[in-house]
Chain A
Amino acid sequence: MASIEIKNIVKQYGDGFPAVNDVSLDIADGEFMILVGPSGCGKSTLLRMIVGLEDITSGDMIIGGKKVNDLAPRDRNLSMVFQNYALYPHMTVFENIAFPLRLAKMPDDEVRRRVTEASDVLELKDHLERKPANLSGGQRQRVAMGRAIVRQAEAFLFDEPLSNLDAKLRGQMRTEISRLQRRLGITTVYVTHDQTEAMTLGDRVCVLRKGKIQQVASPRELYEQPVNLFVAGFIGSPPMNFLPATPKGDRLETPFGEIVLDQKRAAAVAGHDLLLVGIRPEYFEDASLVDEAKRPLGSVFTARVDVTEWLGDSQFAYIPYEAPESIQTHLRELSRELDAEELRTQAIVSIDSTSRIREGREAQFWLDSRKVHVFDPETGDNLTRDAEAGAELTRMATQDRVEQIEEVRAASVGAA
């Protein structure tokens, strides 16, 4: 087990295009780090540079205190799960899992013991003599993981391991990976474009965009204190709503009425003419269902609902709004970068599932103004980010992780 330090790593392809551009990232021993971003952001390239399948143009890759820039993959002692599993079809499941041990010339009984142990953990016991071709997608996925955990690697690397599974299996395997990582307490780097995986698995998440790091933080910090428009729009599903706003004193004028800002935030946004205010869908509510005590903390506005979606446990309403041309251009550009569908200028609002708001009618909504963020549409910067509150969230997450790993290590010492 080891820490991974990435220092000013650059990857330039033959045509000079920088797929990864000056990335620096410290991954602590035992940490679960997620690399996330839209396609083409360089996350897979970065992972492949860690494992050694891709040359490093410049910068340092340090694993366990040792510079590995020029080491071949086999000398780095990392294990990797590929997106399409890359199982060896001519070998049985047993031999697939045993392959790294066989290469290390481990004695037969030791190989048998280790493979049995790994297959117990992954519930593959009954399939050891079968060939990968006869396994289901989930089983193949587990064999690929078995091959990764069977030896004492310095770190696990996952390259979108769940993207080939159907939704139900994906959820199962996600929790399984999480449990396994906690149990083994091993440093893990996990590439995904799925933000559910990013949010649920990671101790910290690194959001990449066009080869550059946007923000590295715990999932909670990313969600509550995003550093810019890109991160705010990428994290969260349904995505954050961005409304055009013009500041007037300590108020913001938006298509959904006026939003009152506290003093600190009002000071931060002063001096701009046109802003984007970012509001998560769950900051809205059907005004008739809001507690009287909560009501004064936000503002109430009336709007016409275009479409509602009732999902049983929750309900979404779509509210169209008008936006100036310049804002629309910015939003279109943003949604293209996020691989999202063409954003129409409509807000997605989460309301209580018991709400009787109807499509095509006017309705009253309440909006919690305490947690809104205000962005500069030109630079994309979050003007109201509370860095300290964010850092506190990540500090808490780190604390949790350290405690968990200590527990695991204490338990394994006790067992041994």
Chain B
Amino acid sequence: MSRREKIWWWLGGALIVVYCLFPIAWIVSLSLKAPSDLNTGGFLPSALSWENYDLILSGGASDLFLPALRNSFGICLIATAISCLLAMFAAYAIARLDFPGKKVILSTALIVAIFPIISIVTPLFNLWRNIGLYDTWPGLIIPYLSLTLPISIWTMSAFFREIPWEMEQAAQVDGATTWQAFRKVIVPLAAPGVFTTAIIAFFIAWNDFLYGISLTSTSAARPVPAAIGLFSGESQFVEPTGAIAAAAVVVTIPVILLVLLFQRRIVAGLTNGAVKG
């Protein structure tokens, strides 16, 4: 690459980064502004203020935000774990076995994934109230599974397909049962795929707003996005913008941490050297 080309690439890259990160920077800057500073029109806060963070973590909004944070973590982690486990078995079957109805399962999963949530939220609301799942953790975990399972099955079956079948056959010849071959050879090899899938599934559940706001009413199960929507100012004349921005920053942190933590595992091609390279 010539020097000039390099410069253009850098320039283009920088432009895209700015475009993507600008809203985030804005939120961060908003969260650090004092309420009186909100409408001054400057991008950077005129004085750093931790007031908004105080408000949501220990102040007046904390009894709305902190339980919601706990709910979000609990519900999303459980939903992700269940969906990964189920998707692992389903994807293995789809990638390895030839059974009638394989196409039906895959296309059903796709249809579920593209089905508009808004159309089932109202019936679900009634159903959950009748059977006592309304405003409970399982009441959110189950709908979250319907969001995360389809994409998990699709991504994981793609990963399983990449694993050479000989691995498993070799294990069987070496004396492994089908289950042992799956557990000792296929699962470790599919680990990067499982991690990737888990992260995607976690994001989907973490970002949900519609189910969260419709199927909960108290802090018993209300997740963060729904809680943020319920923030209110100290009086009706004060906007909760600063508190909302601070809450948004707080919920973004775990997502960024997750990606940074696992990006090595995601990228690492663990199958390198399995077969002739």
Contact = CB atoms under 8 A, between A and B. Distances in A.
A151 B191 CA distance: 29
Interface in B127-170: 164, 166-167, 169-170
Q: How large is the interface on A (under 10, 10 to 19, 20 to 34, 35 or more residues)?
A: 20 to 34
Given A72-B172, A73-B169, A90-B270, A103 B276 contact: no
B119 interface: no
Contacts of A86: 164, 166-167, 169-170, 274-275
Given A86-B167, A88-B185, A99 B270 contact: no
A89 B180 contact: no
A241 B189 CA distance: 51
A82 B172 CA distance: 13
Interface in B214-258: none
B167 A88 contact: yes
B273 A89 contact: yes
B194 to A, nearest CB: 13
B277 interface: yes
A132 B273 CA distance: 5
B174 interface: yes
Contacts of A87: 273-275
Interface in B17-55: none
Given A87-B274, A90-B270, A79 B174 contact: yes
A269 B186 CA distance: 61
A84 B169 CA distance: 12
Contact of B277 (A73, A80, A100, A133): A133
B170 A164 contact: no
A51 interface: yes
Interface in A128-145: 131-135, 137, 140
B177 interface: yes
Nearest to A144: B170
Contact of B276 (A79, A84, A89): A84
A414 to B, nearest CB: 31
Nearest to B177: A74
A53 B174 contact: no
Given A51-B173, A78-B173, A88-B167, A140 B273 contact: yes
A32 interface: no
Q: How large is the interface on B (under 10, 10 to 19, 20 to 34, 35 or more residues)?
A: 20 to 34
Given A86-B164, A86-B167, A131 B173 contact: no
Contacts of B166: 82-84, 86
A147 interface: yes
Contacts of B169: 53, 73, 82, 86
B273 A133 contact: yes
Nearest to B176: A103
A195 to B, nearest CB: 22
Contacts of B189: 88-90
Contact of B175 (A85, A88, A104): A104
B188 interface: yes
Contacts of B276: 84-85, 137, 140, 164
Contacts of A85: 275-276
B273 A80 contact: no
B2 interface: no
Contact of A89 (B172, B173, B174, B270): B270
B78 interface: no
Contact of A147 (B164, B174, B177, B188): B174
A307 B169 CA distance: 49
A131 B175 CA distance: 22
Nearest to B165: A86
A95 B166 CA distance: 18
Question: Max chain A CB contacts within 10 Å: which of B188, B272, B276?
Answer: B276
Contacts of A79: 173-174
Nearest to B271: A89
Contact of B272 (A80, A89, A99): A89
Contacts of B273: 87, 89, 131-135, 140
Contacts of B171: 88, 99
A74 B173 contact: yes
B170 A80 contact: yes
B61 to A, nearest CB: 47
A151 B174 CA distance: 9
A77 B173 CA distance: 8
Nearest to A81: B170
Given A53-B169, A80-B170, A135-B273, A90 B188 contact: yes
Interface-central residue, A86, A103, A140, A147, by most chain B CB under 10 Å:
A86
A284 B177 CA distance: 58
A140 B274 CA distance: 9
A-B pairs with lowest CB-CB distance, top 9 = A133-B273, A84-B275, A86-B170, A86-B166, A100-B174, A89-B274, A132-B273, A164-B276, A103-B175
Interface of A: 51-53, 72-74, 77-80, 82-90, 99-100, 103-104, 131-135, 137, 140, 147, 151, 164
17 contacts: A52-B173, A53-B172, A73-B172, A74-B173, A74-B177, A82-B170, A84-B166, A85-B276, A86-B164, A86-B169, A90-B191, A99-B174, A103-B174, A133-B272, A133-B277, A147-B170, A164-B276
Given A84-B166, A85-B276, A86-B275, 11 more contacts: A51-B173, A52-B172, A72-B177, A84-B164, A84-B275, A87-B273, A89-B270, A89-B273, A99-B171, A133-B277, A140-B276
